C-alpha cells in the first residue's frame, strides 16, 4: 500500500460548507476574452468563453499546448486581472471587483494544486500546510490544530518535519493537495496535478480528488490525460483559446 492511498475522506464537517453558497453556478463566465498586444498585432489567448460550473461538479479542461487551459485556470483563481468579459463567482461579479476583493474571494473560497507542487523549499511539510491558514483569520492554536488534523487525515504525521526535497514527487503532490484543501475551499483548481507523477501515484492523487469532490468540493482540473479526465463529470475542450467542445464522462457517483 502506498503512503497516501489510505488518506481518509474528509468528514462532512470538513467538506465545503454549502450553507453560504448562493443558488446558481459556482462559476459563470460570459464572453471572457484575453489577449496580448504584440508588435505583429493582437495575440488572442482566450476567445468568447462562456462556461457555467455548478456546485459539486468535477470539471476537466483539456486541449493541446497553447490552447489557453492554464490561462483560464489562473483567471478562474483570480490570479489574473487582465481580461474582458463577465466572471461571476458564487454570485460575486469578479469583473467589477477591485484587486483587493478578488484576493479576498481567492483566499476564502479557492485552493490551488500545481503540476510542479510549488511547495516552499525552506519550510517543512507542517509549515507548508500552515501557509494558507496564516493568510486567513485563524488563531495560532486553531492553525496548529487544523494542521495536526490534516497531517493525520493525509497520513503524513511521520513526515511533518521533513523538507520537500526529502520527499518523493508523489509525496510532494500529496502535501500540495493537503495544502490546497486545508483552508476548506469551495473550489479546487488543479493545473496538471499528476503531470510529474508516474501512473500509480497519479491514480492515487486522482482518487483523492474524487473523495474530496464526493465530500462536496467543486474541482476544476487541467490535464492532458483522458484517464484523469475520466475521474470528473464533464470535459471542456479548448483550442486556440476557443471552447471547441464539451462532453460528459459518464462518471457514476
The residue among 82 and 252 lying less far from other proteins, judged by its C-beta, is 82
> What is the nearest approach in angstroms of other proteins to the Cβ of residue 250?
32
DSSP 58-91: EEEEE-STTSSHHHHHHHHTT-----EEEEEETT
> What is the nearest approach in angstroms of other proteins to the Cβ of residue 79?
5
> What is the nearest approach in angstroms of other proteins to the Cβ of residue 24?
24
The residue among 77 and 235 lying less far from other proteins, judged by its C-beta, is 77
> Which letter does DSSP use for residue 46 in this model?
E
Distance CA 216, CA 173 (A): 21
Residue with cell 459539486: 56
3-class DSSP state for residue 233? coil
Query: Which residues lie near other proteins (CB under 8 A)?
Result: 70-71, 74, 77, 79-80, 100, 103, 106-107, 112, 114, 116, 118-122, 131-132, 135-136, 165, 179, 183
Pull the grid cell for residue 191: 493545473
The residue among 50 and 166 lying less far from other proteins, judged by its C-beta, is 166
Alpha helices in the chain (DSSP H): 69-76, 99-109, 125-134, 140-153, 169-181, 199-214, 226-229
The residue among 112 and 231 lying less far from other proteins, judged by its C-beta, is 112
Indicate the Cα dihedral angle 176, 177, 179, 184, nearest 10°: 160
The residue among 21 and 131 lying less far from other proteins, judged by its C-beta, is 131
> What is the nearest approach in angstroms of other proteins to the Cβ of residue 57?
22
225 to 118, 138, 172, 217: CA distances (angstroms): 21, 37, 20, 21
> What is the nearest approach in angstroms of other proteins to the Cβ of residue 138?
12
> What is the nearest approach in angstroms of other proteins to the Cβ of residue 103?
6
35 to 6, 68, 83: CA distances (angstroms): 44, 11, 7
The residue among 54 and 70 lying less far from other proteins, judged by its C-beta, is 70
Distance CA 11, CA 14 (A): 5
Q: Residues 115, 195: contact at Cβ < 8 Å?
A: yes
Distance CA 4, CA 17 (A): 25
> What is the nearest approach in angstroms of other proteins to the Cβ of residue 23?
26
The residue among 191 and 233 lying less far from other proteins, judged by its C-beta, is 191
Amino acid at each position: 500500500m502506498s503512503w497516501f492511498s489510505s488518506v481518509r475522506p474528509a468528514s462532512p464537517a470538513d467538506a465545503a460548507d454549502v450553507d453560504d453558497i448562493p443558488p446558481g453556478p459556482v462559476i459563470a463566465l460570459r464572453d471572457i476574452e484575453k489577449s496580448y498586444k504584440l508588435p505583429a498585432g493582437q495575440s488572442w489567448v482566450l476567445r468568447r468563453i462562456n462556461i457555467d460550473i455548478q456546485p459539486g461538479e468535477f470539471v476537466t479542461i483539456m486541449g493541446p499546448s497553447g490552447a489557453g487551459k492554464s490561462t483560464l485556470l489562473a483567471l478562474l483563481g483570480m490570479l489574473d486581472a487582465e481580461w474582458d468579459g463577465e466572471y461571476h463567482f458564487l454570485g460575486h461579479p469578479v469583473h467589477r471587483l477591485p484587486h483587493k476583493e478578488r484576493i479576498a474571494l481567492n483566499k476564502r473560497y479557492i485552493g490551488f494544486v500545481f503540476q510542479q507542487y510549488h511547495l516552499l523549499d525552506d519550510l517543512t511539510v507542517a509549515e507548508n500546510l500552515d501557509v494558507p491558514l496564516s493568510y486567513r483569520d485563524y488563531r495560532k492554536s486553531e492553525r496548529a490544530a487544523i494542521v495536526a488534523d490534516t497531517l493525520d487525515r493525509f497520513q503524513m504525521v511521520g513526515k511533518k518535519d521533513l523538507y520537500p526535497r526529502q520527499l518523493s514527487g508523489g509525496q510532494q503532490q500529496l502535501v500540495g493537495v493537503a495544502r490546497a484543501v486545508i483552508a476548506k475551499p469551495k473550489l479546487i483548481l488543479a493545473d496538471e496535478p499528476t503531470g510529474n507523477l508516474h501512473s500509480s501515484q497519479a491514480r492515487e492523487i486522482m482518487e483523492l480528488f474524487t473523495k474530496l469532490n464526493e465530500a462536496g468540493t467543486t474541482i476544476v482540473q487541467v490535464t492532458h490525460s483522458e484517464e484523469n479526465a475520466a475521474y470528473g463529470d464533464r470535459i471542456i475542450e479548448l483550442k486556440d483559446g476557443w471552447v471547441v467542445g464539451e462532453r460528459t464522462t459518464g462518471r457514476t457517483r
